[in-house]
Amino acid sequence: MTKEIVPLKTVFTDEELIVRSSGKLIDGVAARRAKVLPDERGRLGEIMRVDDPWFEKFGQVYFTTTYPGVVKAWHYHKKQTDHFYVVKGTLKVALYDERKDSPTYGTVNELYLGEHCPGLVRIPPGVQHGWMCISETEAYIVNVVSETYNYADPDEFRTHPHDNHIPYDWTRKNG
């Protein structure tokens, strides 16, 4: 049974992203608009700072890309915290709280990140997450993670993108 995804609110401050969920933000998840400073030469955008309230520690920074219409989901980490920022293109990001001891267990969140809606989302360990590229061009994503990738013992646990128990449907909703 898929839960209805309803807007959390309709007016947002500069520190927030448009987040839709089943009524509440998943415990430990945070999202904010990115600070973008334009001038006649171009733009400078801050992704993450050590004085951000949610900064834990630095593991590494990497980038990944996703082609239009592709779903990269689902997975979670036991130790690692992710911080996604989309440099080019647009993503629909979905989160599912599968932590049985969490006050938001079973909650689904959905948000949009991209070059026209710059922002950063923090995803704590244990929260299933993934995205779909909804732009007509390849999306470029930067991830600032709390842990260094361990090639011998990766902290990554995968769930099939469509055939699973997660109450979320990646299908585009027209209308």
Q: What is the distance between the alpha carbons of residues 11 and 54, in angstroms, rounded to a whole number?
A: 23
Q: What is the distance between the alpha carbons of residues 129 and 26, in angstroms, rounded to a whole number?
A: 12
| Cis bond before residue 74 (omega within 30° of 0) | yes
Residue 19's pLDDT band (cuts 50, 70, 90): low
Mean pLDDT, the chain, rounded, equals 87
Could you say which DSSP state residue 117 is in? B
Q: Which of 16-20, 75-79, 120-124, 146-150 has the weakest average pLDDT?
A: 16-20
Count each helix (H run) and each strand (E run) in the chain, helices first.
0, 14
Domain boundaries of the chain, sorted by first residue? 6-150
More confident residue, 12 or 140: 140
CB atoms < 10 A from the CB of 49, how many? 8
| Cis bond before residue 170 (omega within 30° of 0) | no
Give the highest mean pLDDT range of 10-19, 29-38, 138-147.
138-147
The CA-to-CA distance between both ends of the chain, in Å, stands at: 22
Q: In this structure, which topology does domain 6-150 adopt according to CATH? A: Jelly Rolls (2.60.120)
pLDDT tens string 59-72:
999 999 999 999 99
Instruction: State pTM to two decimals.
Output: 0.85
Does position 1 have pLDDT exceeding 70, yes or no?
no
- Tell me what the mean pLDDT of segment 70-93 comes to: 97
Residue 130 pLDDT: 97
CA–chain centroid gap for 142, Å, is 11
